[in-house]
Amino acid sequence: MFVQHASVKSRLNAILRATSGNFLEQFDFFLFGFYATAIGNAFFPAESETASLLNTFGVFWLGALMRPVGAIMLGAYIDRIGRRQGLIITLSIMAVGTVIIAFCPSHATIGIAAPIIVLAGRLLQGFSAGVEVGGVSVYLAEIATLGNRGFYTSFQSSSQQVAIFVAAIAGYLLNESMPVEAVASWGWRIPFFLGCLIIPLIFFLRRTLEETPEFLAMKKHPAAGEVIASALANWRTVVLGMMMAMLSTATFYFVTVYTPTFGKTVLKLSTQDALLVTLLVAVTNFIWNPIGGALSDRIGRKPVLLAIASLALMTAYPALNWLVSAPTFGKMLAVAMMFCFYFGTYSGTMLGALVEIVPAHVRTTCFSLAFALAAALFGTFTPLASTWLIERTHDKASPGFWLMFAAALSVIAALTIYRGTSKPSRAVQPLRPEPPDSALGVQAASR
């Protein structure tokens, strides 16, 4: 009994240390979305609030375009050197980007240099984030106990919700203790400074990670060029993985990064209302992710993925249309909780599924590239797309069409990947066989 308890405690500690870097990534990402208006005024002044928001969310999205680059370059590094060392490198790059944004002077102080510096910080963050999700998910999958891979990998996403919760609390306290004008002028930087202060603790946690037994058991670790070549050879798997992840990334960035701005600028609700909804979003997402992962461990990935994506396809626009017809705090909370259920259950399942469909010897690279493409093309583009759709269509519920499109692509991906079975079909297996001395092939990676 003591040995079993020690083993459980050891695995929980490993999960905490591995996911700690997600805190910094999502803490900063959420703050960027919540204070988008203030950041726009500080670094991207324009002739209108909408134009300033578009500039801000545009820079947010440009940073995401670096994700695929980071996925390939850093993913190849992790597949060659190891999970532990790679996760330390990604955290270092993310920390530099966070510090740059927190301390960058405003446009009024240094002119055009301000938006350029902020963009540089976002590019560094995007480069690092390109492999953070994949690196952590693969690490959790490789330390998972038999039959619980979905449950373990779901904590990659659940850990991000802790950052959103803390950021929302910080924002709420800030808005309660300072005048609105002061928050908009300079107070918005305070939560970013807090993020900088926790960087040393996260570094300590990451440095205590142990390498996964599965990586150590591999007899050959391919060179970076071999990893990249193999990942490109498996482009069909990457594309299907990207499509499968689109619903997860689109709903996540809608309910976390865009919802605060949507509540304040579109629905005209109070800042406190938007923050309270965000707090409940974080708590709900934290709960639904492991439930989704555990459920998929029991009944299979396919039924969960298809059920949630189909529900999102049918309800995204009608729900938002109901909300904007007569906005209230209660209606905004109800719609946000619905999207949280979709995101959490789907994401908790999708992470385990994506680990299982990629070749073992390039697992981090292929996973990261698929997820990075989904995040760049759909996830982090969601705030910009939502703002643009509302501006062009004059329909405040039009972001629902964006979410429905992501859901439709995810349905197609799930049907293709799990063609007639609950296990990945041959269509997503490597185009070239695994190296004979690879410790784990695609078939062994599947449930």
Provide the residue-wise pLDDT of the chain in tens; the chain has 447 residues: 433 444 666 777 878 888 877 777 778 777 776 777 788 888 888 767 777 777 777 887 787 788 888 888 888 888 888 888 888 888 888 889 888 888 999 888 999 899 899 889 888 988 888 888 888 888 898 888 888 999 999 998 888 888 888 887 887 788 788 888 888 788 888 888 888 888 888 888 888 888 888 888 877 777 778 878 888 888 999 999 999 999 999 999 898 878 877 888 888 888 778 778 878 888 999 999 999 999 999 999 999 999 999 999 999 999 999 999 988 889 989 999 999 999 999 999 999 999 999 888 888 889 999 999 998 888 888 888 998 999 899 999 999 999 999 999 999 999 999 986 667 754 454 433 344 333 333 333 333
Nearest Cα neighbor of 346 from 395, 280, 397, 414 is 414
Distance CA 204, CA 207 (A): 5
Amino acid letter at 186?
W
What is the per-residue pLDDT for 7?
63
Nearest Cα neighbor of 278 from 262, 291, 292, 293 is 262
Q: Is the dihedral of CA 106, 112, 115, 119 positive or negative?
A: negative
Distance CA 344, CA 186 (A): 34
pTM of the model: 0.80
Distance CA 279, CA 164 (A): 7
| Distance separating the N- and C-terminal Cα atoms of the chain | 28
What is the per-residue pLDDT for 340?
94
Q: How far is CA 4 from CA 52, 152, 157, 209, 211, in A?
A: 55, 17, 26, 20, 21
Q: How far is CA 66 from CA 72, 197, 258, 376, in A?
A: 10, 25, 20, 8
Distance CA 267, CA 26 (A): 24
Distance CA 80, CA 215 (A): 10
**Complete domains list, the chain, with CATH:** 12-205+220-445 (1.20.1250.20)
Residue 423, burial from CB neighbour count under 10 angstroms (0-12, 13-18, 19+): middle
Nearest Cα neighbor of 87 from 370, 285, 368, 374 is 368
Give yes or no for a contact between 64 and 119, defined as CB atoms under 8 angstroms apart: no
Phi, psi for residue 35 in degrees, rounded to 5 = -100, 30
CB atoms within 10 A of CB 356: 23
What is the per-residue pLDDT for 447?
36
